[in-house]
Amino acid sequence: MNKNYDVVIAGGGAVGAACAYFLSREKDLKIALVDFKKPGNASRASAGGLWAIGESVGLGCGVIFFKTLSKQINEAKANGEEAPRMHPHQLPDFFFDFALSSNNMFPALHEELREKHNIDFKFQETGLKFVMYDEHDRAYADQIASGIPHLSDQVNWLDADQLREEEPYVSPEAIGAMNFTCDHQVSPFLLIDSYTEGARQNGVDLYLNTMVTGVETEGNRVVGVRTDKGTLSCNTMINAGGAWSSQICEWATGEKIPVYPVKGQIVLSEKLPKIMRGCISTSDCYIAQKDNGEVLIGSTTEEKGYDTTNTLAELKGLAQGASKCLPILKEMNIKRTWAGLRPGTRDEIPILGPMDGIEGYINANGHFRTGILCSAITGKLIDEIVRGKETTLDLKPFLYDPKRFEDLDPPFYG
Amino acid sequence: MSTNNQNVVIVGGGAAGISAAAQLAELGIKSRIIDEATKLGGVVYRGPLRHTEELPHLDEFYQKSQKSLQDKYHNNKDKIDVQLETSVVGPDGTDGLIISDQQKLENVKYDYLILSTGCHERSIPFPGWTLPGIMMMGGVQLQIKSGLVRPGEKMALCGTGPLLPLIACQLHKGGVEVEGVYEASSFSKLAKEAVALLNKPMLTLNGLSMMSYLKRNNVPFHYGWGIVKAEGKEAVESVTVAPYDKEWKADLSKARKANVDSIGIGYGFVARTQITQLLNLEHEYSYQSSYVPKLDEFHRASKDNVYVAGDTSGILGSDGAAFEGQIAAFDIALRMGVIDASTHSSRVNKARKGLQRVKNFRFGFDRFSERQLGMLDLPDDDTVICRCENIKKSQIDAAFERGVKDITSLKMATRAGLGDCQGKVCSAYCYDRFKQAGHQEKMGQLRARFPIEPITFAMMED
């Protein structure tokens, strides 16, 4: 096997598959998509939430961090100490634009993939409700709202009665909810499957179960991607290696980008009748009922290298958080638990685009908690970059620049 | 004799687990057996450890072969702590297990762990295979043994290996009309194994006597025939069988249909490795048993204090399992300082000799009964492969056509294996498909997840 391609994409998770799909739409490029399902690949452990605002303000996966804080506050209060100040973990405006642009693409993408390629990735309009139990939660929600005044038309407040009407199974202890009306969900496996199948139907060569083992360079130019099944020559390679991107980048450029695995554990219920209308985030966990009835509860945020083991204490935390919000779950079964490795960056912003001084290399990685959500806009941007077009969004804040990560604190999660 | 304060935990109270516990106890070492069933004894041989009245079985021979084990167990019961109706749902760190009694979770610490979780029956999808009235051989046997409930009035048995004639005899003795017994492999293939079978002359004679019993009672036994499909509205009403060629491809032009109300199916077993997987032990692919843990000569797994004995590490049946349990027990006794090296080596060698005889015999049957991939042609497009997720063969085919080459991608593309049973049922078929397509080497493993059996959210409260 020694083939020549215009573009070789290393990594067939949500981002790599989206790149393959967007690049192949005009069917004018020779493209290869190389994928190997390593244990813990993040696409497999995704909830499939399209929580553009939720994730940008630190809900969804981010709530675990908040939970730790709110526990500290309660402890401090109990001890008569001054409570530490709460800060919602809000990402910069350009990330909101990035995430919301991607989010806006999904209804049309859903149509397109269904009509042209006959795969339905189960886009569902759900909203994301931040369910509040006490004044701490409310104060936190208020801070979120005050941080995003320009999005106030996407935020809708529910009091206890309204919440109960919308979500009858939510605990009577809940005092209300803040609902992000534009945050929805998809089936993550089917989304990746539909990008991949769409790409295949558009002529992309799929190298599945094929491991990237190196990158061939000539001077400062990437000329091929080595795999365990041979070398694929290319004009451009795209590094969509998820939590493994750093190694691939080093092979290609000699430089290590700061993308590292961030473990998230997940609890999944048996299939249940519909008990939720929308997706929910609390200060304990997020909860999403998928199209097949399973209720998915996530997720921890742990830096444990490439370890993907499940730990009872963390799983209990998630299960208890879910039962607290939806007491009906107590009688229901947990079917499986697992863990995925998000490709984290210190500033929680993906790394996109070329690297200084290197030809034929493009980053499409570091999507941390939002790979599914941001896959669509990433695919679009990468397609524009490869074709030398002007990009839809300003690429500058996403480019790799060592300075981007210089003054950042060590991770806030442990 | 010294008494130990180290915890030896044995998961699975079948032949291997009981044998290990009894052997440890005889050496003065206490252990704890955890088993999900209501009684000890394992699946196929459930019952030998309780003294019951005469049952119309033909397995007196097996009962006898278990007699010494039975005595050893009963004489040392005080050193064996038995915890029944308890499932291991996952590991707890590197020295503990999480167990469930359906009400709550508990942690069990171990210094030494013996995993003897046995095997389950291999599911072979064919049109109609999910109809009520279709049973696995072990299930058929259990039903005869447990309360003399007849599995059906008129029954066909399709499968391969020594269980077929045994169960046919048991059914006939129990008053079931056996429509026919269909052994997939040809008689000439069996004849080739005559030498191997002489390693266990008594068993072979016993087998022959079963065959002559069937002949005397006009139960037809067909070599080189097998299942094609089952039909019926709400339950099985008929079976279609056909001659199999040496690849076990059915010759549909010679297919025959018979009215039956139940069908026993037995095309082999798959090792139960959910716990060994969750412990992150090293595994290797075995065509016969799917994935099995890698073991050293003392049945020690890739983690130093974990032993695996019995069918979990490759299918040998209860006699072999008992020897393997003994070997693990002697090795633990040595490491605890209860026996010295020379005792260890002489006792282990003796057990190994017994084990080897079982293997020589067993491997003869294994060669005879080796599953052939022609059966993969049986299901039609609409035949369900993954029962939990209702995934049809056409969906599996579509994924293969799209280039899927590994079990994880197949799971993500189709959801096969993502149901409540965690792929226990469909993974065997899927692995065979990868093998047939030439991807077996890198197809990967369908990983078990915590909890191995569903637990309620309430059980996760503190």
Is the per-residue pLDDT at A88 higher than 80?
A: no
Can you give the pLDDT at residue B150?
78
The answer to whether residue B341 neighbours chain A at the CB level (below 8 Å) is no
Contacts of A142 (CB under 8 A, 6+ apart): none
pLDDT at B57: 44
Tell if the CB–CB gap between B457 and A332 is shorter than 8 Å: yes
Highest mean pLDDT: which of A328-337, B47-56, B418-427? A328-337
pLDDT tens digit sequence for A131-159: 999 988 898 899 889 989 999 999 999 99
Alpha-carbon distance of A228 to B104, in angstroms, equals 47
B149-183 pLDDT, tens digit each: 678 899 999 999 988 998 999 899 888 999 999 99
Using CA atoms, how far apart are residues B107 and B57, in angstroms rounded to an integer? 40
Amino acid at site B1 = M
pLDDT at B2: 46
Distance between CA atoms of A40 and A164, rounded to whole angstroms?
37
Per-residue burial over B419-449, b if 16 or more Cβ lie within 10 Å, else e, is bebbbbbbbbbbbbbbbeeebeeebbbbbbb
pLDDT tier for residue B51 given thresholds of 50, 70 and 90 = very low
* pTM of the predicted model over 0.95: no
Indicate yes or no: CB of B442 within 8 angstroms of CB of A209.
yes
Q: Is B394 on the interface with A (CB under 8 A)?
A: no
Question: Does residue A50 surpass a pLDDT of 80?
Answer: yes
Delineate the domains of chain B, giving CATH numbers in brackets.
8-121+270-339 (3.50.50.60), 134-267 (3.50.50.60), 380-442 (1.10.10)
pLDDT of residue B374: 97
Query: pLDDT, tens digit, for every residue of B322-354?
Result: 999 999 999 999 999 999 999 999 999 999 999
Q: What is the dihedral of CA B304, B310, B312, B314, to 10 degrees?
A: 110
Q: Which residue has the tokens 């088993």?
A: B35
Candidate from A44, A189, A330 with C-beta closest to B457: A330
The more confident residue out of B263 and A409 is B263
CA of B448: which chain A residue's CA is closest?
A: A336
Pick from A333, A338, A372 the residue to mutate for testing the B interface (most B CBs within 10 Å): A333
ipTM of predicted assembly, 2 dp:
0.91
Tell me, yes or no, if B103 comes closer than 8 A to chain A by beta carbon: no
Is the model's pLDDT at B125 over the cut of 80? Answer: yes
* C-alpha distances out from residue A368 to A14, A96, A400, Å: 12, 15, 15
Residue B362 — pLDDT band, cuts 50, 70, 90?
Answer: confident
Residues of B in contact with A335 (CB under 8 A): 419-420, 454
The neighbour count for residue A145, using CB atoms within 10 Å, is 16
Query: Does position A181 have pLDDT exceeding 60, yes or no?
Result: yes
B409 and A338: CB-CB below 8 Å?
no
Hey, is the C-beta of B280 within 8 angstroms of any chain A C-beta? yes
